[in-house]
Amino acid sequence: MNLLHYLKYFLFHAIGLIAAGAILAGGQYVSTGFLAVLVIYLVGDAVCGDDTSTPTFKYPGILTAQLWMALPLLALIVFSAVWSVCSGDPLGFGAWVTHLTGYDVLAARDATASIHHVSTVLMTGLMIGMVGTITGHELTHRTWDPVSMLIGRWLLAFSFDTVFAIEHVYGHHRYVSTTEDPATAPRGRNVYFHVVASTIKGNISAWKIEQKRLSRKRQGVFSWHNAVIRGHLMSALLVVAAYAMGGWQAAVFFTLCGLWGKSLLEIVNYMEHYGMVRNPATPVQPRHSWNTNKRISSWTMFNLTRHSHHHAQGEVPYQDLKPFPEAPMMVGGYLTTIIVAMIPPLWHKLMTPKVLAWDRDYATAEERVLAAQANARSGIAEMVDLVPAR
């Protein structure tokens, strides 16, 4: 057994603990910690290259335990963040941390300026997206494992997105890269519009999927059997917990963190399938997703980066996903690509040539027809001849 192959995925937990520590340290440490996390991803992916290894794991239970550990880690991060805006000391948490470390976190919290609370929202939302959504995504694909499903749904509850466990698994994976998929952004779409559109359409899709499931089982839609309703109640319970800690200020603060985490998911959806086309009657292939094998992103995101294989075979556990270096590639690692996507002029400047190259190098004859129609709708058809041959 090569221990490194198991330990590399603990980098995910290390980044989560850095985030929690920075939040508790308060003041400029919060902003510094947030910048440090950005540097780890942006510089790490830039200088550490790709990871295309495909090791065999003899003890997959260890890797599952790593996923389960995300729930207490995220609970710690979010509790610390909500605690940081409370006027009291819920559960005596600050006094306990001060006694344990010798660092007066209560005094540090009271001295924290508003700008650093903004950093806390950004940091916590990022962790909700990374620790919560990415791990919840992996776990809720394991529909045969009730423990993983339960933990995964609680992780998704932090971003008000337990419906992801329904729409993503039973909707997105079926209709990915088609006009039927809320999460697939058509060519020319702005990422900020996509966040709103995909969220609304994704919730509607999840409700319809659940409605059909309950109808087959002859169970009431407006009942405890409805996983959409139960999921939103899970998120509501977290808001109530935040309110119990620090009143409306804490509840609103948590809500902002969760909504930012949800937005990150939709930005990731945007960049994973932007501009792809497919006939929904044909099988999903690795070419229907944008891929990346950047080392730091892969290790800290449980191979979510190997998205081409994931969509070709959604039931494959993260550790067994193959890198598919011949698949269409993103502009960089995940956080790098997220930042590019949030700057629409830069995104379209970099991605339009990539999308048009996809038409030429990856699309089937049928998909080229669909692509030509998409190019005409988006107004980029005139750029086709400007893309250099591979």
Nearby residues of 12 by Cβ (< 8 Å), 6 or more positions away: 66, 70, 130, 131, 299, 300, 301, 302
Q: How far apart are CA 10 and CA 58, in angstroms?
A: 17
d(CA 60, CA 57): 6
Sequence-distant (6+) residues with CB within 8 A of 82 are 242, 245, 246, 250, 253, 254
Find the helix packing angle between 93-101 and 70-83, rounded to 10°: 100
* Residue of 385, 204, 12 lying closest to 196 (CA atoms): 204
Quote the radius of gyration of the chain (alpha carbons, Å). 21
Angstrom distance (rounded) from CA 248 to CA 284: 46
Banded model confidence at residue 252, pLDDT cuts 50, 70, 90:
very high
Using CA atoms, how far residue 26 sits from 35, 123, 124, 374, 375, in Å, is: 14, 12, 13, 49, 49
Q: What is the pLDDT of residue 281?
A: 95
Rounded to an integer, what distance in angstroms lies between the CA atom of residue 261 and that of residue 294?
A: 22
- What is the spatial distance between Cα 302 and Cα 320, in angstroms, rounded to a whole number? 10
Q: Hey, what are 381's tokens?
A: 């058809």
Confidence of residue 2 (pLDDT cuts 50, 70, 90): confident
What average pLDDT score do residues 114-134 get?
A: 97
Tokens in use for 297? 């992103």
Whether pLDDT at 388 is above 70: no
In terms of Cα–Cα distance, which of 193, 208, 207, 324 is closest to 270? 193
Question: For 184-235, what is each residue's pLDDT tens digit?
Answer: 999 999 999 999 999 999 999 999 999 999 999 999 999 999 999 999 999 9
- The two tokens of residue 94 are 């600050």
Helices (H) and strands (E) in the chain, counts: 19, 0
Distance of alpha carbon 277 from alpha carbon 330, whole angstroms:
16
3-state percent breakdown (helix, strand, coil) of the chain, nearest 5: 70, 0, 30
Task: Identify the pLDDT of residue 380.
Answer: 83
Any residues with CB less than 8 A from the CB of 229 and at least 6 apart, and which? 222, 223
For the chain, how many residues are written?
Answer: 390
Angle subtended at Cα 107 by Cα 106 and Cα 113, rounded to the nearest 5 degrees: 105
Side chain identity, residue 261: G
Is-contact 319 2, C-beta < 8 A? no
Quote the mean pLDDT of the chain. Answer: 95
- Quick: pLDDT tens for 267-313: 999 999 999 999 999 999 999 999 999 999 999 999 999 999 999 99
pLDDT of residue 349: 96
Burial class of 330 by CB neighbour count within 10 A (0 to 12, 13 to 18, 19+): buried
What integer pLDDT is reported at residue 3 of this predicted model? Answer: 86
Is the pLDDT assigned to residue 121 strictly greater than 70? Answer: yes
Structure tokens at 257: 């963190």
Distance between CA atoms of 284 and 282, rounded to whole angstroms?
Answer: 7
- Cα of 91 vs its chain's centroid, Å: 30
Residue 382 has pLDDT above 90, yes or no: no
Q: Which string of DSSP letters, residue by residue, matches 112-177?
A: --HHHHHHHHHHHHHHIIIIIIIHHHHHHT-TT-HHHHHHHHHHHHTTT-TTHHHHIIIIIHHHTT
In contact, 254 and 186? CB cutoff 8 Å: no
% of the chain surpassing 90 pLDDT = 95
Residue 385 has pLDDT above 60, yes or no: no
Give the C-alpha separation, 354 to 349, whole Å: 9
Amino acid sitting at position 233: L
